[in-house]
Amino acid sequence: MVDEVDGVSGAKGQLVSVIIPYYDRLELLPRALKSVVEQTHRNLEIIIVDDASNQDPMALLASFDDDRIVYIKHEMNQGVSGARNTGIDRARGDLISFLDSDDEWLPTKVERQLDAIMSKGNEHTVCYCFSEVVSDETGKVIEVNSFQAEGDVIHPVLVGSGGSPGWTGLVILVNELMLAKDDLLQVGGFDKRYRMHEDWELLIRLARSYKFTCVKEILVRNHKHRFGHIGDQYQNIPPVRRLMFQEHRYLYVTDKAASSHFFAELAYYEGVNGMKGQALLSLFKSIAYKPFRREPYLKVVMLMMNRLQKPRTEW
């Protein structure tokens, strides 16, 4: 992947494919696309995958007048996993990054991550960065994701959420990633069975096989807006998380701390969905994995007192 003539400095000539899945919310797409078009690293392939949207983006794309933009449209909706997989298959770059159509990158995102990967001298490195969450209503930063573990990150990835109760953000977000196309294909891309948490499930498979490196700068800006976010659909979370545990059971059972945290979080979502009996069972599993953790005992009390709070969806 490194240019044989320029060595590490050959990063400037590296083609990076950027995959943007798109489904409606046309008014948000210009911000995302502008942030990619204006990257300081210029050698980009910008793949817009229209997942059978009802809002045609062609006029918007034409207004950018940028021949790096590639437009692909699905005849039938395949979900965000299917859209990203289409982009991966179509990508010509050795390296791939993802951006959701309602979010944005800071101008040096690609450049800084490309330099980090090249400096490692190992193309099989998954690179991520810091990010922030901004409220479109107030313009204020409401969350900062500064997780920064490197090398083997399987334990924190299995734990998953690094935030407060009700915060569904992962320790590493898909908008933060840059990695080799070959590595994505090797682990099988995104699993189309997951209509949410598909990024978390992919991270588990990546962390199982590859080392991670972090650019310790905020290079991604994720947005909270009036259209909401799939992560706000808390009622859909319990079955997806149970599926994920079964898929990666052999990893979880060898990491008791991760399993304890996983079941405590699962119990939270079961509890706020009115599944009190199932939530208690999950909390007992959490305690069984790590009897001296305080969190599951507190959640038992909150559950019995009907004091579990639903996740915030308004900012």
Indicate whether 154 pLDDT > 50.
yes
The amino acid present at 296, given as its one-letter code, is P
Greatest mean pLDDT among 29-43, 109-123, 127-141, 215-229: 29-43
Reported as a pLDDT band with limits 50, 70 and 90, residue 9 is very low
**β-bridge pairing 211-224 and 104-105:** antiparallel
Arithmetic mean of pLDDT, 167-174:
74
Indicate whether 43 pLDDT > 70.
yes
Reported as a pLDDT band with limits 50, 70 and 90, residue 315 is very low
Indicate whether 77 pLDDT > 50.
yes
Question: Tell me: the pLDDT tens digits for 211-240?
Answer: 999 999 999 999 987 776 544 567 888 999
**Sign of the torsion formed by the C-alpha atoms of 278, 280, 286 and 287:** negative
Indicate whether 168 pLDDT > 60.
no
Closest CA to 79 of 51, 47, 50: 51
Indicate whether 123 pLDDT > 70.
no
Round to whole Å and give the CA distance between 286 and 245: 13
Reported as a pLDDT band with limits 50, 70 and 90, residue 309 is confident
The pLDDT value recorded for residue 5 is 33
Question: In the chain, which segments carry CATH 3.90.550.10?
Answer: 8-231
Please indicate whether residue 33 or residue 194 has the higher confidence score (pLDDT). Answer: 33
φ, ψ (nearest 5 deg) of residue 4: -65, -25
Among 108-112, 121-125, 238-242, which stretch is predicted with the lowest mean pLDDT?
121-125
Indicate whether 84 pLDDT > 90.
yes
The pLDDT value recorded for residue 121 is 78
Please indicate whether residue 165 or residue 58 has the higher confidence score (pLDDT). Answer: 58
Determine the CATH number of domain 8-231. Answer: 3.90.550.10
